[in-house]
Amino acid sequence: GEDVEQSLFLSVREGDSSVINCTYTDSSSTYLYWYKQEPGAGLQLLTYIFSNMDMKQDQRLTVLLNKKDKHLSLRIADTQTGDSAIYFCAESITGFQKLVFGTGTRLLVSP
């Protein structure tokens, strides 16, 4: 079955790097995603990685995928207070966006 797990909470200081981790169980995942949710708002796609890639970098964001261990991580460099939000890992098994979400990691960035 499909199952995506994340740690619930991460606290960092402004300027540090943040690393949010995710594990998934279905090896047939096609795409893996990171979404950001700010308080009272919907989900915003941050980045995604195709399952045949190991790494993707997009400005301050670096996504690492370890297919053997079914482990996905999101690294945010130079974390800012505006990065405080809930971050969701999600996987897509089928060709469209029938997403399976993790529980979300609440990132708190302190000045």
Partner 1 sequence: NAGVTQTPKFRVLKTGQSMTLLCAQDMNHEYMYWYRQDPGMGLRLIHYSVGEGTTAKGEVPDGYNVSRLKKQNFLLGLESAAPSQTSVYFCASSGQGGTEAFFGQGTRLTVV
Using CB under 8 A, list all residues that contact partner 1: 4, 8, 31, 40-45, 48, 88, 95-104
Least distance CB 62 / partner 1 (angstroms): 19
CB 30 within 8 A of CB 95: yes
What are the structure tokens assigned to 73, written together? 């991580």
Distant-in-sequence, close-in-space partners of 61: CB < 8 Å, separation ≥ 6: 34, 46, 47, 74, 75, 76, 77
Q: Which is nearer to partner 1, 64 or 100 (CB)?
A: 100
Q: How many CB atoms lie within 10 A of CB 31?
A: 16
Least distance CB 13 / partner 1 (angstroms): 26
Least distance CB 95 / partner 1 (angstroms): 7
Q: Which is nearer to partner 1, 52 or 68 (CB)?
A: 52
Q: Give the torsion sign (CA, 71, 107, 33, 103).
A: positive
Q: Which is nearer to partner 1, 14 or 21 (CB)?
A: 21
Q: Which is nearer to partner 1, 11 or 17 (CB)?
A: 11
Least distance CB 27 / partner 1 (angstroms): 19
